[in-house]
Amino acid sequence: MRRFAYCKVVLATSLVWVMLDMFILLYFSECNKCDDKKERGLPGRDGEPRDGPGEGGKPVVIPKENQEKMKEMFKINQFNLMASEMIALNRSLPDVRLEGCKNKLYPDNLPRTSVVIVFHNEAWSTLLRTVRSVIDRSPHTLLEEIVLVDDASERDFLKRPLEQYVKRLEVPVRVVRMEQRSGLIRARLKGASISTGQVITFLDAHCECTTGWLEPLLARIKLDKKTVVCPIIDVISDDTFEYMAGSDMTYGGFNWKLNFRWYPVPQREMDRRKGDRTLPVRTPTMAGGLFSIDRDYFQEIGTYDAGMDIWGGENLEISFRIWQCGGTLEIVTCSHVGHVFRKATPYTFPGGTGQIINKNNRRLAEVWMDEFKNFFYIISPGVTKVDYGDITSRASLRQKLQCKPFSWYLENVYPDSQIPRHYYSLGEIRNVETNQCLDNMARKENEKVGIFNCHGMGGNQKLTLVHVNSNQCLDKASEEDSQVPSVRDCTHSRSQQWLLRNVTLPEIF
């Protein structure tokens, strides 16, 4: 009987202790979620339920009374800074990977990477959320270091406070400063040169890496160091910081103006991968902000064109160079990294945005595009007036590496390009009677072709345009629709005669 009483006492006291432990545990884990999280939050484990603003990649809604302040703050970085500041630096994100990616196995001895992040007046919250997401979601055995390159920011918190903060992080983080505003290209070169990892991973300063982002990238490089890899770039809303999965069904291309654009992955690339969407996509171009490259290979193929200024065109330049000089450029669909896409740039461009991008594009066209550069020059004649500096070192690099011609690239890497691989002439088609020209009138695919006043370019040649299927002839615009040419029975009247006028480039340049 007494023994039973003893047992009851022992049981009761241990129960009290257990409850006390639980209380302490709960109390401290609660505290992680609230006031402490912005500064010292433990690495967030994805899947663990948390309920702060933006957790799980959810959108942040700003209450009505703060809308005015929010708009004011938006202007600072051209994204919703107020929302960003409400979100924990280590917020959780959804696992947006394809099912087939989640249990892929990668070799143990992957090469280690340095992560190089260039920033200019970046917000504290976005910059440090980028850094935290790298640290929290990468195996530390694969992380050599993080290198933050400050491209002459003016904000005080990016000086000593930043250096103090990153000292406490579990992975070595180095901060290097450019002496003057140098732009993305030169700042990245600086970051690359002082880093030491076998692989260099470039990230933008407002990214969030997701679970398992790094291993599939490094695995491709381990397999072949001439493979340059990009993650799928997910969208972090600039308005709400909502995290939205990017598509594995788009890849990088460009248009005649040499603007980078996303296009659907063509059937031939799906076929090559036998329909397995978890396999990397060969992409003609990269967006530029986020990619990994073997350090030696980066050197070997000539890093970046240091003659380019600030930003723009460098992504196409490195894309063409990789492909034409024997490398491979891929989007690794099992790797997801989010990026805050903005509608406007918060940066100032010394000398003006247009001038800089024209200069950079001119350099890449001159060095890499052979005769196909003319497509670009015709569509943006302003480009031919810019001073693009000396390109002899880049041209000799191309020579030295024995890179293939641009026609090879179009044929083998980007056959679905807007730039035709084979063309008869480059110019305009003018109606003999009306003296107007065929024009796409900035219309989109599957819309009517237009007819418009000619822009006026050199040499000509008379022809009749016969439609093969209907055996009818292209005629001047009809009465009902004066801007659209018509197809009628062939009469060989003047309205069915067209002049093909070649653009004679030396003439306009």
**What residues make contact with Mn ion under the rule CB under 5 A?**
204
Shortest distance (Å) from residue 340 CB to Mn ion: 7
Instruction: Tell me how far apart the alpha carbons of residues 266 and 253 are, in angstroms, rounded to a whole number.
Output: 11
Strand positions, DSSP E, 237-376:
243-244, 250-254, 260-264, 281-282, 291-294, 328-340
Residue 236 or 258: the one with the smaller Cβ distance to Mn ion is: 236
Residue 101 or 316: the one with the smaller Cβ distance to Mn ion is: 316
Q: Is 474 helix (H, G, I), strand (E, B) or coil?
A: strand
Shortest distance (Å) from residue 341 CB to Mn ion: 7
132 CB contacts (<8 Å, ≥6 apart)? 43, 89, 90, 169
Shortest distance (Å) from residue 311 CB to Mn ion: 10
Residue 125 or 227: the one with the smaller Cβ distance to Mn ion is: 125
Residue 93 or 473: the one with the smaller Cβ distance to Mn ion is: 93
- Assigned token pair, 355: 């001038």
Instruction: Tell me how far apart the alpha carbons of residues 495 and 500 are, in angstroms, rounded to a whole number.
Output: 14
Instruction: Tell me how far apart the alpha carbons of residues 333 and 319 are, in angstroms, rounded to a whole number.
Output: 18
How many residues does this entry show for the chain? 509
Residue 204 or 439: the one with the smaller Cβ distance to Mn ion is: 204
* Maximum distance among all Cα pairs of the chain, rounded to whole angstroms: 122
Shortest distance (Å) from residue 339 CB to Mn ion: 6
Tell me the residue nearest to Mn ion as measured from the CB: 204
Residue 117 or 474: the one with the smaller Cβ distance to Mn ion is: 117
Shortest distance (Å) from residue 289 CB to Mn ion: 5
Residue 204 or 475: the one with the smaller Cβ distance to Mn ion is: 204
Residue 376: φ, ψ to 5°: -65, -45
Shortest distance (Å) from residue 205 CB to Mn ion: 7
Instruction: Tell me how far apart the alpha carbons of residues 46 and 444 are, in angstroms, rounded to a whole number.
Output: 43
Of 418, 433, 424, 429, the residue nearest 451 (C-alpha): 429
Q: Is 285 helix (H, G, I), strand (E, B) or coil?
A: strand
Shortest distance (Å) from residue 46 CB to Mn ion: 23
Shortest distance (Å) from residue 187 CB to Mn ion: 13
- Assigned token pair, 483: 């801007």
Residue 119 or 254: the one with the smaller Cβ distance to Mn ion is: 119
Q: C-alpha angle 292/298/300, rounded to 5°?
A: 155
Q: Is 245 helix (H, G, I), strand (E, B) or coil?
A: coil
The secondary structure of residue 221, as a DSSP letter, is H
Instruction: Give the CA distances from residue 319 to residues 227, 254, 262, in Å, rounded to whole numbers and listed in that order.
Output: 11, 11, 14
Residue 324 or 360: the one with the smaller Cβ distance to Mn ion is: 360
Which string of b and e fits 198-212 if b means at least 16 CB within 10 Å? bbbbbbbbbbbbbbb
Shortest distance (Å) from residue 410 CB to Mn ion: 29
